[in-house]
Amino acid sequence: MSTTLLVVQMLNGLQLGILLFLIAAGLTLVFGVMDFVNLAHGVQYMLGAYLAVLFWRLTGSFALALPLALVAAFAIGLALELAIFRRLYARDHLDQVLATFGLILILNDGVKALFGNAPLSLPMPEALSGAVRIMDGLSYPLYRLVLIAAGLAVAAGLALLVSRTRAGMLVRAGASDAAMVSALGVDIGRLFSLVFAFGAMLAAFAGAMAAPLLSVESGMGDNLLVLAFVVIVIGGIGSIRGAFVASLIVGLVDTLGRSFATDILKLAFSPSAANQAGPAIASMAIYILMAAILFVRPAGLFPASRSA
Amino acid sequence: MTEAPALALDGLTKSFGSLVVSDAVSLSVRPGEIHALIGPNGAGKTTLIHQVSGHLRPDAGRIALAGTDVTAMAPHRRARLGLSRTFQITSVIPAATARQNVVLALRPATAAGLRLWPDPAGDAALAARAGETLALVGLEGRIDIPASDLSHGERRALELAMALAPSPRVLLLDEPMAGTGREESAHLLRTLAALKGRCAMLLVEHDMHAVFSLADRVSVLVGGRIVASGAPDAVRADPAVRAAYLGDEAALC
Amino acid sequence: MKAAGPDTARRLSAAILIPLVLFAALALLPLAAQFGPKAYILSLGTRLMIFALAAISLDLILGYGGMVSFGHAAFLGIGGYAAGILVDEGRGDLLLALPLAMAASALFAAATGYVSIRTRGVAFIMITLAFAQMAYFFANTLSAYGGSDGLSLLARSGVAGLPLMKNDTAFFYVVLAILALAFGACRLLVASPFGQALEAVRQNPGRMAAMGYDTDRIKLIAYAISGTLCGVAGFLLANQTEFVSPSYMAWQRSGELIAMVVLGGMGTLHGALLGAVAFLALEEILSDLTPHWRLVFGPILILVVLMGRGGLVGLIGRMRR
């Protein structure tokens, strides 16, 4: 395993971690503040990608398509919250799982009906399409670096928003004690709507930013959703900081594991055994991590609620 | 050798963070005796009951059930050894009828236990026994009503029947009178008086009339510590007890 | 959750009537199939019954035990792979392969259940999902058995050396017999002391522990029985399609199984039966009408959650009232 490969894979892992964080941030807030299991959060990511494609087709510019997609995703999030989700807050988790599962079916099939079955692609914006030389013999695509930087910027902004503003304070308080917040006379319904739509927008941002790198297709959010759940369980439900740390852990463990697990195992076992077990262990690693954390630390690494 | 107490607590200590909720509590309940545990709110009475039943683990100390050390045992194993309890907030199986609730209470001690196929003969026998226990607490007319449809007082009586049904060695009663109406609590009091002697009881109760008419011995818990213990009249006269209940004095008499 | 209606007698009769009608209809299906596209009807009917078996197994822990397993499809995969691998290795006879498939499922259930049942609420949903994902990705790396492409079965399992399941009609009746047997066994199970304890543990674990029940053990046994039964469904599914792949264990499949149970009405067993049949029949009919059948199916699912308390069984109960 060469240094350049290691650096590339770390950057790839970082990139996956950043995408996961953008998805998990909204998911963990909705989960923490409203005690709501939203399986449909992954399709918000997919919607972001489709919306970016749609607006790019209309405007011909990625720079215009991105903000338009975000506004549209926010509006869709708000509409879904008003139409469906708010009726589910008081329900048990089973009902929430089932209704949002229904929503996944609708939205995954909806984009097929509107945009066709074939995967779409979004061309990379001209200005960001080059590569950057990081070190000898290693250049890395500029766009991917921009994605990492943008994600880190959003994370920093989010941290400020949550720790420094009144809305953020309410959200944090709501995550540990929703009853207390509503006792303070805050319009909890409106707070929930905004948090929900904001989370949808963050996921859509991840989808829109990832669109030039991936094929945009129905179901693209499904597996990321499960990874995002892994993230929020590891990080601690309701904790933005936990989501950030856990996203990077999951992104790096998954990416590095897939490239290096076999090599690492070869240090201890025969090559054939390592070739067999390496990929298996690598692909299961984050789930093993999640199960272990649920078992020994059910509240995750950074529990949001400190009630006894 | 004298007979081992039905229940013996020895130096039971438990804290939550810096808050000591049980401070070296020692007390015993003799077979057939009613031992009442009183004290102001927040004195740690319910926490103590939870430790005895195994729902909470003490930090230090020993709990013995008829001479057997049960300190580290899970709640269900203590129950198998003859420990029964009621909860401060009524705890029954809501969708099951009164009779089914009592049958569930009786079954762990029977051979059918957790049999994976039906046991109609055994069920019929248990149902008959359940009927007798329900009559004991005055629920003979409500046998086939789901617990969720019973009144609050009836549910408390049902819970008592569930605790009594397996003929326990020791019965822990956590504020059985709480939230019951005047008539219901009078009925409950008569029921408990009639049951006296059938098993050892550790009774946590705020209703002083009930405590002093039922108990053979009374212990007073204040701030997690036993400040007085003895016969009801002696405890009633104890200055430490009067101090603990200052401002609440009328309730004692 | 399940309401204990005062009209127990009426519910009881529905509990007998619904499965009776369903099983009678299924038993006659191969005869009716003579007058239509026979292979298609038989294959659909077999598929319905296999998923009904999986749904019943899930209802045991979901409806009766209150455990929202979001990884139940893992057992479909384990049963399926057991069939695939054993057939591949020339040990595919039902009398050997089915018990082995059940043992593998039971083992996986016992190991993952031991960890899972110690968690509550959402954590249980997530940890069962995590274990199913592990199984899913593990199957993806089984390169000797097709990896992510899956594994084709050379033939269906024989029964004591006889090619009994080769014939689609015979296979249909084998599946029907297994389903009927499993349904009857589950009926006995939920009426047993164990089944009553399981339902009570769902409602009030603290009370049950205080009465001397080992609640963790009860939940674990239920989980293991449920997983084993679902493994049988996976075994049959692989035999029917003569193919098994990691997609058997995709988390969406676990979601569909939950949907079947809730759609039919959980905690009744015949609800799960009805739910699986309704789910797959609806899928079949809608996908015939439009390629975008999920656009219709999704809203139905949401409406069932928002309005339909008690699923189809609850609806039937209200109509009879």
Per-residue model confidence as pLDDT tens digits over C72-118: 999 999 999 999 999 988 888 889 999 999 999 999 999 999 989 98
Is the pLDDT at A29 greater than 90, yes or no?
Answer: no
Of C191, C203, C209, the CB nearest to B75: C209
Nearest CA to C141 among A230, A275, A255? A275
Residues B102-140: pLDDT tens digits? Answer: 999 999 988 888 999 999 999 999 999 999 999 988 898
pLDDT confidence of residue C307:
82
What's phi and psi for A134, nearest 5 deg? -95, -45
pLDDT at B207 over 70: yes
Q: How distant, in Å, are the alpha carbons of A12, A156, C213 from that of A143?
A: 12, 20, 60
Q: Do A19 and A210 touch, CB atoms closer than 8 A?
A: yes
Can you tell me the ipTM of this complex? 0.91
In the structure encoding, which two tokens stand for residue A276, read together? 């067999």
DSSP string, C193-258: HHHHHHHHHHH-HHHHHHTT--HHHHHHHHHHHHHHHHHHHHHHHHHHHTEE-GGGG-HHHHHHHH
Where are chain C's structural domains?
A: 6-30+38-320
The candidate with the shortest Cα–Cα distance to C67, out of C106, C134, C122, is C122
Tokens 């130096």 -> residue? B11
Q: Which two tokens stand for residue A185?
A: 């006379």
Place of tokens 């039943």: B53
**Residue A130 zone, left/alpha/beta (φ > 0; ψ -120 to 50; rest):** beta
Which one has a higher pLDDT value, C285 or A184? C285
The arithmetic mean of pLDDT across residues B31-35, rounded, is 93
C2 touches chain B (CB under 8 A): yes
Q: Where are the domains of chain A?
A: 3-296
Residues 6+ apart with CB under 8 A from B54: B70, B73, B74, B75, B77, B78, C209
From the list A21, A29, A24, the residue with the least C-alpha distance to A171 is A29
- Chain A's closest residue to C296, CA to CA, is A106
Fold of A3-296: ABC transporter involved in vitamin B12 uptake, BtuC (1.10.3470)
The yes/no answer on whether domain C6-30+38-320 falls in CATH 1.10.3470 is yes
Q: Is the pLDDT of residue B249 over 50?
A: no
Q: Is the CB of residue C292 less than 8 Å from the CB of residue C254?
A: no
Tokens of A149: 């930087």
CA distances from B156 to A298, B95, B132, C150 (A): 34, 16, 17, 58
Q: Indicate yes or no: CB of A290 within 8 angstroms of CB of C121.
A: no
What is the SS3 assignment for C56?
A: helix
Is the predicted pLDDT of residue B253 greater than 80, yes or no? no
Q: What is the pLDDT of residue A176?
A: 66
CB proximity under 8 Å: C 125-184 to A: 125-127, 129-131, 133-134, 137-138, 140-141, 143
Choose from B106, B117, B159 for mutation: most chain C CBs within 10 A.
B117
* Helix (H/G/I), strand (E/B), else coil: B38: strand
- In this structure, what is the dihedral angle of CA atoms C54, C57, C58, C62, given to the nearest 10 degrees? 160
Distance (Å, whole) CA A308 – CA B20:
15
Task: Print burial letters for B154-176: b (CB count within 10 Å at least 16), e (below 16).
Answer: bbbbbbbbbbbbbebbbbbbbbb
Quote the CA–CA distance of C71 and C148 in Å, as a whole number: 19
pLDDT in tens, A108-145: 999 999 999 999 999 988 888 888 888 777 888 999 99
User: C137 vs A87: CB contact, 8 Å cut-off?
Assistant: no
**Closest to C150 measured CA to CA, from C216, C285, C266, C244:** C244
B130 at C interface, C-beta within 8 A:
no
**A141 burial class (0-12, 13-18, 19+ CB within 10 angstroms)?**
middle
3 state SS of A35: coil
Distance in angstroms (rounded) separating the CA atoms of residues B173 and B177: 10
Cβ within 8 Å, pair B95-C203: yes
Question: Which residues, in sequence order, are CB contacts of B114 under 8 Å at separation 6+?
Answer: C193, C194, C197, C213, C218, C221
Minimal Cα–Cα distance from B34 to chain C, Å? 20
Binary contact (C194, B55; C-beta < 8 A):
no
Q: Tell me the H-state helices in chain A.
A: 3-34, 41-59, 62-83, 93-115, 142-164, 166-176, 178-183, 188-210, 222-235, 240-268, 271-296
Distance separating alpha carbons of residues A221 and A44, to the nearest angstrom: 8
Dump pLDDT digits (tens) for B131-162: 999 998 889 899 999 999 999 888 999 999 99
Alpha helices (H) along chain B? 45-53, 75-80, 98-106, 120-136, 152-164, 182-195, 208-214, 232-237, 239-244, 249-252
